[in-house]
Structure 1
């Protein structure tokens, strides 16, 4: 099996990660490689936002505002961005185009996010792509500083893989159930 097949075949989500995280400098070459996804028109209709330190607290506050919660429930929600030292927001940054539909641009942004998650995993980091009903709320849009032509697709939560972490098990599919000839 090739290294790529091995890497993709071993991919798993890590819902819990350690406080270690890749630096900005370590992310740069991975982002450069992730940008190689298929991109009709070479529009680069995406961008990524590193969310570290106090920015995670601001994001938590935006989630609480969007949900309209108070008390214990608000504290739980506010703490969600603290599950990892690094969150990477995946943003569909749509461009004006007569030939590339919005859905295609969103697919490119999602492709970059998924490719980046595979690259981070290959480098030994634990990654989980998280979304939720508040992802596209106005308070979250505001804290992420999104323009009118942008949509947040979610965050990659990135950190170290905990010691003793078990290999992910995913039930194999029967590919003939999903791949058909016309």
Structure 2
């Protein structure tokens, strides 16, 4: 194979784009596909083999129950919240077939910088998106209010020393959006030379 030929992996990475969560419909991954996605998600650089992240799978009826609890918490934290914003939160996790929360457990360590642990959680998020895409699903990596608000984190079971790296929405794509502009390499690449 020539160095210029695209392998299936290179073609997948070159074409990867986010599918809006609202366009990640049922059916979602089967239990076997979900296990595969999670296994690939966990296969990331992880200095010291700490697994400084964990998964929270939100599927089935649990999505609507979580949405209801988060909407209640949002209303309690901000009684002046707009009806539109409240409705958006009340459908956040139900809008896609499946959501995987990636929780960063980065913590001080005698040898492994905390920053490297955080980066590992980010790599997990991207691996989940790519794995879902490789299996034919749409996916989008989101955060939002539920990733940062203490009351939402408590509902999600995120501990005080943990952070949400992202919510990966996955499902069967109902639309294909045009690709967005990508960075011009001339603006983001430098070459070091002494």
2:83 aligned with 1:72: yes
Pick aligned residue for 2:49 from 13, 24, 42 = 42
Per-residue CA shift, 1:89-135, capped at 9, x if unaligned?
01102245112122211110110110110010011001111111441
Which residue does 2:95 correspond to in 1? 83
TM-score normalised to structure 2 length: 0.83
Cα 1:76–1:169 shift into 2, 3 Å = closer
CA contact (8 A) 1:48 1:91 kept: yes
Report which of the two structures shows the higher radius of gyration computed on alpha carbons: 2
Cα 1:131–1:75 shift into 2, 3 Å = same
Cα 1:46–1:2 shift into 2, 3 Å = same
Cα 1:24–1:139 shift into 2, 3 Å = farther
Which residue does 1:22 correspond to in 2? 29
Which residue does 1:125 correspond to in 2? 137
Pick aligned residue for 2:8 from 3, 10, 31 = 3
Per-residue CA shift, 1:44-90, capped at 9, x if unaligned?
11111110133223432225513525673323321122111211101
Q: How many angstroms does 1:171 deviate by? A: 2.2
Q: For the aligned residues, what is the CA RMSD? A: 2.0
Which residue does 2:3 correspond to in 1? none
CA contact (8 A) 2:146 2:153 kept: no
Q: How many angstroms does 1:170 deviate by? A: 2.7
2:60 aligned with 1:53: yes
Which residue does 1:98 correspond to in 2? 110
Matches of 1:54 and 1:167, distance apart in 2: 28
Pick aligned residue for 2:166 from 150, 154, 162 = 154
Q: How many angstroms does 1:142 deviate by? A: 1.1
Cα 1:30–1:85 shift into 2, 3 Å = closer
Structure 2: unaligned runs, 5 residues or longer = 1-5
**Mean CA deviation greater in 54-63 or 18-27:** 54-63
Cα 1:54–1:138 shift into 2, 3 Å = farther
CA contact (8 A) 2:141 2:167 kept: yes
Q: How many angstroms does 1:30 deviate by? A: 2.5
